[in-house]
Every structure is written in structure tokens, then in C-alpha cells.
Amino acid sequence: VTKLYFSNIPIAVTSDQLKDILYNLLGTTHILKVHKINDFAFIHFTIRKRAEEAFQRLQGLVIMGNVIRIDWGRPIEYSKSHRLGQLPENCHR
């Protein structure tokens, strides 16, 4: 997994503002994508090692008074969109 899940992000923070914050803290070379929706975001990294470093360094991050919760993103096989495209395990063709 090379994706981190951030929650408790202030709604007023835009995707570009979040990118700027992360780039200032981590640099720009290892972040592939920042996808913010409402009060959460998925941050995609180039490799697992960079995601692990960010996970450690950003613990306790505060943005506009909110302590940001950071967790690992789900692997694709557990994502809702991936599961919806598959038949249930108990269904046989």
C-alpha cells in the first residue's frame, strides 16, 4: 500500500492548500496525487517507504486547529468500487 488516508481536515482547506502543506513538509518528489473530498483525503506516494516516512513524520499534524488523523489507505482489492465489480464469493456462474 502506497496510499495514506487523512481525516478531520477542515472543509475550508482546498486540495491545492493541502498539497502545498504536504509539499512544504515532505517535499514534492514522492507525492503522486492528493485527492481531497470534504473532510478527508487520500495521499498517493511513489513507493511504500515514502508513505511510511510520511505516516511517521505527520503524526500530530494540525491544520487550522484540527488534529489530522492519518491511517493507511485500503489496498485496491478491498475498495468499494473494486468489490462492486465482482460477483460475491458464494455466487457461481
Q: pLDDT of 32-78, one tens digit each? A: 999 999 999 999 999 999 999 999 999 999 999 999 999 999 876 65
Q: Tell whether 56 is covered by a domain.
A: yes
pLDDT of residue 91: 62
Q: What is the CATH number of the domain that holds 25?
A: 3.30.70.330
Better-predicted residue by pLDDT, 73 or 86: 73
Q: Tell whether 89 is covered by a domain.
A: no
Residue 89 pLDDT exceeds 60: yes
3-state secondary structure the chain: CCEEEEECCCCCCCHHHHHHHHHHHHCCCCEEEEEEECCEEEEEECCHHHHHHHHHHCCCCEECCEECEEEECCCHHHCHHHHHCCCCCCCCC
Domain coverage including residue 28: 3-84
Entry pTM? 0.78
Q: Tell whether 90 is covered by a domain.
A: no
Residue 87 pLDDT exceeds 70: no
Q: Tell whether 93 is covered by a domain.
A: no
Residue 8 pLDDT exceeds 60: yes
